[in-house]
Structure 1
């Protein structure tokens, strides 16, 4: 689905929540294969029984990837991702947990490199089935302005 939303159209405080996604053992295996991260925290059930977690924990990078992927439901042809800041792995995610992502517009600012665009910061919070935030990151978008900003020559 495509939806044109210019910089001026974004409203600070606007929030949306995605549908949920249950984490499976297959997710762990595929992610480990893709990344080469076969640490026992993710792959060794017997070892993890001896830790305070009691079971394998999801790769933080996997939770991030899935959490971000859940937000990718609308294509905005006048915006692109500039990256992520303030990424934090707050709580562990386990096999069988269901996660969803709440995305909230938290700030808008001028883009110092582009007078025809601004930056929109969207706080992504990945939430488990108990309503606990398990991961948080700020997604930065560069978004075209409807009208080009006039540069000062001072």
Structure 2
């Protein structure tokens, strides 16, 4: 779906939630191949039995990628992603965990040089099936103003 959402249309405090997505072994294997990160934490079931977690964990970057993808449901020609700040991996995600994402409009601020643009900062929170917060970050949107 395509919808123009301008800077003025975003309301601080508004939030949305996604449906769940279960992380699979296939997700981890494909991500390892794409990134070259074959560390045993992700790939070696037997080695992981010797760690505190006792099982393989998803790459933090995989959890981030899946979570961000889950929030992308509208094509907005009036805004684009400017990047992510304050990314933290707070708890492990295991094979079979189901994650959901909550996005909350945290802040809005004018662009320092472009009067026709502003930044919208979204708080992105990824939770596992037990509602434990596993990842948090801020998504910066650069948005056109109506005026």
Please report the TM-score for the alignment, with normalisation by the length of structure 2.
0.99
The equivalent residue for 1:44 is 44
| TM-fit CA distance, 1:112 | 1.4
How far, CA to CA, are the matches of 2:104 and 2:132 in structure 1? 16
The equivalent residue for 1:139 is 139
Q: Which runs of 5+ in 1 are unaligned?
A: 148-154
How far, CA to CA, are the matches of 2:13 and 2:98 in structure 1? 25
Matched, 1:121 2:129: no
| TM-fit CA distance, 1:114 | 1.7
Tell me the SS of whatever aligns to 2:61: helix
The equivalent residue for 2:62 is 62
Tell me the SS of whatever aligns to 1:63: helix
The structure having more radius of gyration, on CA atoms, is 1
The equivalent residue for 1:108 is 108
| TM-fit CA distance, 1:119 | 0.1
Tell me the SS of whatever aligns to 1:77: coil
| TM-fit CA distance, 1:130 | 0.4
How far, CA to CA, are the matches of 2:133 and 2:2 in structure 1? 29
Deviations 1:84-109 (A, max 9, x none): 00000000000000001100000000
| TM-fit CA distance, 1:113 | 3.1
The equivalent residue for 1:30 is 30
Query: How many pairs were matched up?
Result: 147
Deviations 1:69-90 (A, max 9, x none): 0000011110000000000000
Tell me the SS of whatever aligns to 1:12: coil
Root-mean-square deviation over aligned CA pairs? 0.6
Runs of 4+ aligned structure 1 residues displaced above 3 Å come to: none
How far, CA to CA, are the matches of 2:112 and 2:45 in structure 1? 49
How far, CA to CA, are the matches of 2:97 and 2:114 in structure 1? 41
